[in-house]
Chains A and B, each alone.
Chain A
Amino acid sequence: MIKISKVTKKYGTKKALNNVSFEVNEGEIFAFIGHNGAGKTTLIKAIMGIHDFDEGEILINGKSIKSRPVACKKEMAYVPDNPELYENMRAIQFINFVCDMYEVDERRRERNINKYAKMFEISQNLNDTIESFSHGMKQKIALIAALSHEPKIMVMDEPFVGLDPKAVFDMKELMREMAKEGKTIFFSTHILDVAEKLCTKVAIIKGGKIMKVGSMSEVKGDKSLENVFLELEK
Chain B
Amino acid sequence: MRKALSLLRASMSEGMSFFRISGRNRSRFMKVGVPVIVGVLFMVAMASYGYMMMEPLVGTGLEFVVLTLFVVFAAIFMLMEGIYKASGLLFNCKDDDIVLALPIKRSTVLMIRVMKFYLFETMVNALFLAPVMLVYGAVTGAPLMYYVVSVIALLLLPILPIVVSCVIGGFIAFFATRFRFKNLIQIVLTAIVMLVAVFMSFNLQDVIQAMAQNAGKINDVVTLVYYPAGQYIDLVRGFEWWKMLVFVGANVGLLLLMVVTLGKIYYKINSRVKVVKDDIGKREYSVVGRRPMVALVRKEIGRFVSSPVFVINAGFGLVLFIVACVFGSANADGMIGQIDEMGIEGLSAERVLDYIPAILFGLVFMMSMMTSITSSMISLEGKSFSILKSLPVSSMKIILGKVIAAMMVMVPVFLVGDLVVFVRFGFDFWQILMIVVASVIMPMVAELVGIIVNLKFPKMDAKDDVEAVKQSLSSLIAVSIGLAASAVMAYIIYSTFMSGMSATMMVGTGLALGMIVLAGLLIYLKKWGVKDFNAINV
Contacts and interface: CB of A to CB of B under 8 A. Distances in A.
Contacts of B389: 48-50
A96 B299 contact: no
A188 to B, nearest CB: 14
Interface in B275-311: 276, 278, 280, 282-292, 294-296, 298-299, 302-303, 306-307
A73 B289 contact: no
A68 to B, nearest CB: 11
Interface string A38-57: 00000001001111100000
Interface stretch (A120-128, A163-171, A195-203): A120-128
B25 interface: yes
B535 interface: yes
Contacts of B290: 96, 100
Contacts of B392: 70-71, 73-74, 101-102
Given A85-B384, A101-B295, A109-B289, A131 B391 contact: no
B292 A103 contact: yes
Nearest to B307: A88
B287 A85 contact: no
Contacts of A51: 537
A99 to B, nearest CB: 7
A128 B285 CA distance: 10
Contact of B287 (A73, A98, A110, A131): A110
Interface residues of B, number: 38
Interface residues of A, number: 49
Contact of B383 (A82, A89, A110, A126): A82
B148 interface: no
Given A70-B394, A88-B303, A101-B391, A126 B292 contact: no
Contacts, number: 106
Contacts of A78: 386-387, 390
A89 B295 CA distance: 12
A84 B390 contact: no
B488 interface: no
A93 B276 CA distance: 17
B382 interface: yes
Contacts of B387: 78, 80, 84-85, 142
B534 interface: yes
A11 B23 CA distance: 11
Interface in A92-123: 92-93, 96-106, 109-110, 113, 123
Given A106-B287, A124-B283, A127-B282, A52 B302 contact: no
Contacts of A100: 289-292, 294-295
B212 interface: no
Given A52-B535, A85-B384, A86-B384, A131 B289 contact: no
B278 A99 contact: no
Nearest to B384: A84
B393 interface: yes
A80 B386 contact: yes
A73 B391 contact: yes
Contacts of B537: 45, 50-51
Nearest to A83: B387
A92 B286 contact: yes
A129 interface: yes
Contacts of B285: 90-92, 113, 123, 126-127
Contacts of A89: 299, 302
Contacts of B393: 70, 101
A12 interface: yes
Contacts of B289: 96, 99-100, 104-106, 109
Given A70-B393, A132-B278, A86 B299 contact: yes
Interface string B290-334: 111011101100110011000000000000000000000000000
Contact of B280 (A70, A101, A113, A127): A127
Nearest to B92: A131
**Which of B288, B291, B299, B392 has the most C-beta atoms of chain A within 10 angstroms of its own C-beta?**
B392
A129 B285 CA distance: 12
A173 to B, nearest CB: 25
Interface in A212-227: none
A88 B306 contact: yes
Contacts of A52: 534-535
A39 to B, nearest CB: 14
Nearest to B276: A132
Given A45-B386, A80-B386, A100-B290, A129 B276 contact: yes
A221 to B, nearest CB: 36
B386 A129 contact: no
A86 B286 CA distance: 18
Interface in A2-38: 11-12
Contacts of A82: 383
A72 to B, nearest CB: 8
B531 to A, nearest CB: 10
Contacts of A128: 278
B74 to A, nearest CB: 33
B390 A50 contact: yes
B287 A92 contact: yes
Given A80-B386, A92-B285, A127-B284, 17 more contacts: A11-B25, A12-B25, A49-B389, A49-B390, A51-B537, A70-B393, A73-B392, A86-B302, A92-B286, A96-B287, A96-B295, A101-B296, A124-B283, A127-B280, A127-B285, A129-B276, A142-B387
Q: Which 10 A-B pairs have the closest CB atoms?
A: A88-B306, A100-B295, A84-B383, A73-B392, A132-B276, A78-B390, A92-B285, A74-B392, A101-B391, A126-B285
29 contacts: A49-B389, A69-B394, A70-B394, A74-B392, A76-B390, A78-B386, A80-B386, A82-B383, A84-B382, A84-B386, A85-B384, A89-B299, A92-B285, A92-B287, A96-B290, A97-B298, A99-B289, A101-B295, A106-B287, A109-B289, A110-B287, A113-B287, A123-B283, A123-B285, A124-B283, A127-B284, A128-B278, A129-B276, A132-B278
